[in-house]
């Protein structure tokens, strides 16, 4: 369809004022707020980190040095590879997958229960109980886990009191606090998409499977999960991306020796004040995580369009 006739029908349908507002607002949003900043970041990531007076000068040329640094470290690095950053990235990546799986296992039953089993007032109360923690600030939720898992926190006190252990376990150093906090932070984002998907499943299908003599696990495996696949993918995608990009929880709950990749980016920006390398690292995080999500969707045969909240 040619653009002009589309624009013509668009204007006749909305009028100049309203049509103008829609076009202008969407253009500003997409261009100035979403797309151009990403392009600017990409552009920055391919440049040297120059002082302002040199920018635009002869030295201001495109380079891969920031990406090379991520892989190989500083020039002449005897180790061969930049093991520190690569290890942090790998650990963040695997931890984010771990948190996603944990959330899926934890949330699938509750989503099924709320969508198909719970009725009336109970369902409503459970819904409120699910949403209330999400209204509390992310920082405060992380703080709650610091309080619980601290050396003199309630878990250590109970364990010592019961006599299971003699000296407090350092949950923060062992990253237990971090994984628990991250899992906790994204519970609702996993429950909602799965709940939405399962809710539209006709209960008669489950009934029919049961009448045919299918055990409960086969009902889930063959009926509910295939039906809820878009919701599950959607939830997993959101949780994985947010967990990999989390900054507050690792800063508050992370152990002293374990960094999250976002913290490296944060330090590159605020401590090394190297915007180009920070931009390159942000691009790496975004691109690899996006590619991973797309790969997973290909493997599990879910189309992008099926996802939506």
Provide, rounded to whole angstroms, the least separation between the CB of residue 77 and other proteins.
25
Residues between 94 and 113 with contacts to other proteins, criterion CB under 8 A: 106, 109-110, 113
Candidate residues 201, 266, 292, 296; the one interacting with other proteins per rule CB under 8 A: 266
| Contact call for residue 297 and other proteins (CB under 8 A) | no
Closest Cα to residue 189, out of 116, 266, 241, 267? Answer: 241
Q: Between vectors from CA 257 to CA 254 and to CA 263, what angle results, nearest 5°?
A: 55
| Contact call for residue 150 and other proteins (CB under 8 A) | yes
Separation between Cα atoms, residue 180 and residue 183, nearest integer Å: 5
| Contact call for residue 154 and other proteins (CB under 8 A) | yes
Residues between 226 and 245 with contacts to other proteins, criterion CB under 8 A: 237-238, 241-242, 244-245
Please list, in sequence order, all residues whose beta carbon lies within 8 angstroms of the beta carbon of residue 221, skipping any fewer than 6 positions away: none
Burial of 206 (0-12, 13-18, 19+ CB in 10 A): buried
| Contact call for residue 135 and other proteins (CB under 8 A) | yes
Provide, rounded to whole angstroms, the least separation between the CB of residue 14 and other proteins.
6
Separation between Cα atoms, residue 88 and residue 263, nearest integer Å: 10
Provide, rounded to whole angstroms, the least separation between the CB of residue 229 and other proteins.
18
| Contact call for residue 145 and other proteins (CB under 8 A) | yes
Total of chain residues touching other proteins, rule CB under 8 A: 97
Relative orientation angle of helices 225-244 and 275-299, to the nearest 10 degrees = 170
Q: Are residues 217 and 133 in contact, defined by beta-carbon separation less than 8 angstroms? A: no
Separation between Cα atoms, residue 303 and residue 294, nearest integer Å: 9
Tell which phi-psi region holds residue 49, choosing left (phi > 0), alpha (psi between -120 and 50) or beta.
Answer: beta
Among the candidate windows 16-24, 71-79, 97-105, 204-212, which touches other proteins by CB under 8 A?
Answer: 16-24
Separation between Cα atoms, residue 257 and residue 28, nearest integer Å: 43
Among the candidate windows 65-73, 77-85, 204-212, 286-294, which touches other proteins by CB under 8 A?
Answer: 286-294
| Contact call for residue 251 and other proteins (CB under 8 A) | yes
Provide, rounded to whole angstroms, the least separation between the CB of residue 193 and other proteins.
12
Among the candidate windows 78-86, 141-149, 207-215, 222-230, which touches other proteins by CB under 8 A?
Answer: 141-149
| Contact call for residue 71 and other proteins (CB under 8 A) | no
| Contact call for residue 130 and other proteins (CB under 8 A) | yes
| Contact call for residue 171 and other proteins (CB under 8 A) | no
Burial of 265 (0-12, 13-18, 19+ CB in 10 A): buried
Site track 177-206 with other proteins (rule: CB under 8 A), x = hit: -------x--x-------------------
Provide, rounded to whole angstroms, the least separation between the CB of residue 299 and other proteins.
18
Candidate residues 87, 94, 105, 140; the one interacting with other proteins per rule CB under 8 A: 140
Residue placing its CB nearer to other proteins in the complex, 129 or 164: 129
Distance from CA of residue 160 to its chain's centroid? 36
Candidate residues 72, 153, 223, 225; the one interacting with other proteins per rule CB under 8 A: 153
Separation between Cα atoms, residue 193 and residue 190, nearest integer Å: 6
* Cα dist from 42 to 28, 272, 286, 289, 300, whole Å: 20, 19, 11, 16, 30
């Amino acid at each position: 369809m040619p653009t002009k006739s589309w624009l013509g029908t668009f204007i006749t349908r909305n009028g100049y004022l309203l049509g103008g507002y829609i076009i202008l607002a969407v253009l500003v949003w997409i261009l100035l707020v979403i797309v151009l900043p990403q392009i600017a970041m990409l552009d920055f990531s391919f440049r040297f980190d120059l002082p302002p007076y040199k920018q635009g000068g002869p030295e201001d040329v495109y380079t891969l040095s920031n990406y090379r640094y991520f892989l190989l470290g500083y020039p002449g690095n005897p180790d061969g590879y930049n093991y520190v950053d690569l290890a942090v990235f790998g650990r963040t990546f695997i931890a984010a997958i771990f948190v996603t799986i944990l959330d899926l296992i934890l949330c699938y039953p509750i989503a099924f229960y709320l969508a198909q089993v719970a009725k009336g007032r109970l369902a409503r109360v459970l819904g409120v109980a699910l949403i209330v923690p999400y209204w509390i600030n992310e920082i405060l939720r992380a703080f709650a886990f610091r309080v619980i898992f601290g050396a003199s926190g309630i878990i250590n006190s109970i364990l010592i009191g019961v006599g299971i252990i003699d000296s407090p376990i350092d949950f923060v150093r062992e990253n237990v606090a971090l994984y628990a906090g991250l899992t906790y932070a994204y519970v609702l984002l996993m429950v909602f998409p799965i709940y939405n998907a399962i809710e539209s499943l006709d209960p008669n299908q489950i009934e029919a499977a049961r009448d045919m003599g299918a055990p409960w696990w086969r009902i889930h495996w063959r009926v509910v999960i295939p039906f809820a696949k878009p919701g599950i993918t959607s939830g997993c995608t959101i949780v994985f991306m947010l967990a990999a990009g989390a900054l507050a929880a690792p800063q508050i709950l992370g152990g002293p020796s374990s960094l999250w990749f976002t913290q490296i980016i944060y330090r590159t920006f605020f401590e090394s004040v190297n915007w180009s390398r920070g931009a390159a690292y942000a691009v790496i995080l975004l691109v690899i995580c996006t590619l991973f999500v797309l790969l997973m969707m290909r493997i599990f045969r879910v189309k992008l369009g099926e996802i939506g909240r």
